[in-house]
Structure 1
Amino acid sequence: MRSFILILIGLLMSSSLSALTFQTRLEKVAWQVEGDQFECRLMQPVTGFGSGGFVRRAGESARFQLHAHDPWFSQGSAQLVAAAAPWQPGRTDVTLGQVSVQSGDKVFTSSFEQAGRLLSGLLEGRSPLVQHRQRYGGGPLEVRLLPVRFEKAYQDYLGCTAKLLPVNFDQVSQMQLSFTGGDVELSEQAQRNLDHLLIYLKADPSVNHIQLDGHSDNSGDRLTNRELSRQRALAVQNYLVSKGIPAEQITLRFHGERYPLVPNNSKANRAKNRRVTLKAERVTPQPTPPSAPAGGSPDNKAAQAHTAASL
């Protein structure tokens, strides 16, 4: 009995240290393409594991991602490889470096460069290969995608990416618009940045609020600087309203020289402080409170007045 237990333990240990490979059978390999103007995905389901493939957001290059149904991977680093196919004699694998493994469904996200090299490799018949280790001290773990039926799916993916917006929400949700000297007019670069935001807002009406904060350097007196910051914020607001953004979706504040990004101790630093910061966000409308009785007190009426100016 003791001998049997020792043999069983040995088998379990050798099994735990053996390589585990996830790969879909050749005849069942399928690349799936889906997306919209915000994101395009080119993915291959991997039998028993999950899926892997490429995700390209608007305004960015593609990244390679791996998704797992179960927590096969331990946290740490995995190696990413563009592996040569067995039917390509003379070719060697191309190691693309490490990726950081996370807990959860999304195992990792590659760099833009790694994803680009994997895409090029797939067009040459190479396989994206992820090498890691099993959780809890287990043996080697590999996940391999196959280049079978890739070219047609890749063309569909390119068709999807051609319709992507030029920017994504992260790129336009916060921006800083600079001004020259005592100028309050929008520069051409500032207008281009705002135009990108407008393109996104047209596509995503759920972004329904814009916060503008005007700033100045310390070149003038306090009242002059405050007025400059107000005029700069107004210039941005007027531009957005002229392009169709409802004025009620914009909150405007102005601060003069009170909140510098950097000390006003050089020409370059003062230029950085002459700015309007913009924040676009999704705001859930608050329920309208019950109407006050006719002839309400002056205090109640005054409380309904609102100004966004920051003194």
Structure 2
Amino acid sequence: MTCNKSVILLFTFNVGLVNAQNISVPMDLVKWEYKGDHFQCLLNKNVNKFGQVTFRAEPNNKLVLQVRSYQLPKHYKTARLYKLDSPWEQPEQAVTVGGEGAWLSAHEFVFNDSIDELLQAISRGAWMKLSVSSPTQQDAFTVQLPSVRITEPLNAFNRCRSALPAMSYEQARDLVLAFDLGQRVATSDQRASLKQLAEYIKLDQGVQKVLIDGHTDNVGSSLANLQISRVRADDVASFLEEAGVRASIIQVRSHGSRYPVASNASEKGKAKNRRVTIRVIRGGSITNSKVQ
């Protein structure tokens, strides 16, 4: 597996499970389904009288496991995730995946570590087990989930993951490139970030404008600073156009030293003021699609 995008595993428990202490989902009831678009990938497993298990991948390498259940007693405060050898392995072993789950509410907790490791283990035949317990009582609630009939939908899920943009909208909407004294064009590292930004913009049909603003410190004349801020902003705009962003949505503005974000009395402040900002504007009624 070459891609490491964001993943969410969602357990939803239906009625009738409060008193159950151990649940092992029958293999013949397991069915995995894949759904995806440009901004997220879903791998779902619906189990009769149990709920739904969903792996969710999103941009920006966010990788978590989220568990929700309105059936678990409120005194359950410890959650652990395991990968299991398949039952035909001898001997079977259960290995903890990541640390404890972090509780967000009485009905929801998340695992933040090693979810990609779990997916890779599942692709090799491992099963999953979730254990939720109370620190004061001996009534742990466990759910064991087999990974049968998963190969084809998992392959589609991984293809979707590999095509997700490297940036999320939260990253893309406000990007700041710092410029050294005398620097007029973007560096190779800055161009790499701009390439990722262009990939996001091309995928998001809701983007209506890309505002590029050039700024300088107060060294030199006002006219010279206005000119160099324009050169920097134009270079960024040209690169985005070459990377496939439509010129019609790009707006370039140059401000010279008029809008400092820090004091020009220090070198550190001047460095902050030498910048090009790129702001991505989306339509108020348009959002990038979310498959459900």
Calculate the TM-score normalised by the size of structure 2.
0.71
Which residue in the other structure is 2:257 paired with? Answer: 256
Answer whether contact 1:83 1:128 (CA < 8 A) is retained. Answer: yes
**Is the CA contact 2:63–2:115 (under 8 Å) kept in the aligned structure 1?**
yes
Residue matched to 1:123 = 123
- AA of the residue aligned to 2:103: V
Instruction: Say whether the 8 Å CA contact 1:53–1:66 is kept in structure 2.
Output: no
1:245 CA drift (Å): 2.7
2:67 maps to what in 1? 66
SS state at 1:236 partner: helix
Once the two structures are TM-superposed, the CA of residue 61 in structure 1 deviates from its matched residue by 6.6
CA contact (8 A) 2:32 2:46 kept: yes
Deviation at 1:35, TM superposition (A): 0.8
Structure 2 matches for 1:1-311, cutoff 5 A? Answer: 20-60=21-61, 63-68=64-69, 70=70, 72=72, 74=74, 77-96=78-97, 97-103=99-105, 107-111=108-112, 113-133=113-133, 139-220=139-220, 224-240=224-240, 243-247=244-248, 250=251, 252=253, 254=255, 256=257, 258-260=259-261, 265-266=266-267, 270-284=270-284
Structure 2: runs of 5 or more not aligned: 1-16, 286-292
Structure exhibiting the larger radius of gyration computed from Cα positions: 1
| Helix, strand or coil at the partner of 1:78 | strand
Contact 1:123 1:151 in 2 (8 A): yes
Q: Secondary structure at the match of 1:211?
A: strand
CA contact 1:50–1:67 (8 Å) conserved in 2: no
8 Å contact from structure 2 (residues 234, 252) kept in 1:
no
Aligned-pair distance for 1:117?
A: 1.9
Contact 1:44–1:145 (8 Å) recurs in 2 = no
Q: How many residues align?
A: 264
The SS at the match of 1:214 is: strand
The one-letter amino acid of 1:215's match is H
What's the CA shift for 1:43? 2.5
Measured at CA, do residues 239 and 197 of structure 1 come closer, stay the same or move farther in structure 2, by a change above 3 Å? same
Q: Whole-Å Cα distance in 2 between the matches of residues 215 and 73 of structure 1?
A: 56
CA shift for structure 1 position 29: 0.8
Give the TM-score normalised by the residue count of structure 1: 0.68
Asked if structure 2 preserves the Cα contact closer than 8 Å seen for 1:125 and 1:147, the reply is: yes
Q: How far 1:125 sits from its partner (Å)?
A: 3.3
| Separation in 2, partners of 1:179, 1:190 | 10
Measured at CA, do residues 19 and 276 of structure 1 come closer, stay the same or move farther in structure 2, by a change above 3 Å?
same
Aligned-partner Cα distance in 2 for 1:199–1:280: 13
CA contact (8 A) 1:65 1:108 kept: yes
Contact 2:35–2:42 (CA under 8 A) maintained in structure 1: yes
In structure 2, the residue corresponding to 1:176 is in which secondary structure? strand
| Percentage of matched positions with identical amino acids | 24
Q: Secondary structure at the match of 1:117?
A: helix
Instruction: Please say which of residues 43-52 and 217-226 is displaced more in the overlay.
Output: 217-226
The CA deviation string for residues 164-194 of structure 1, in whole angstroms up to 9 with x for no partner, is 3444433422222232322332333333322
Give the deviation of 1:118 after TM superposition. 1.0
Q: Distance in 1 between matches of 2:261 and 2:182?
A: 16
**In structure 1, C-alpha distance between the alignment counterparts of 2:160 and 2:259, rounded to whole Å:** 46
Q: 1:212 to 1:125 in 2, by over 3 A?
A: same
Counterpart of 1:220 in structure 2: which amino acid?
A: G
Cα RMSD (Å) of the superposition? Answer: 3.7
Greater relative contact order: 1 or 2 (C-alpha under 8 angstroms, separation 6 or more)? 2
Contact 1:36/1:163 (8 A) holds in 2: no
Paired residue for 1:297? none
Code of the residue aligned with 1:172 in structure 2: it is A
Q: For the residues of structure 1 that align with 2:26 and 2:263, how far apart are their CA atoms? A: 59
The residue matched to 1:120 in structure 2 has which SS?
A: helix
- Relative to structure 1, the CA distance from residue 228 to residue 72 in structure 2 (aligned partners, 3 Å threshold; closer, same or farther) is farther
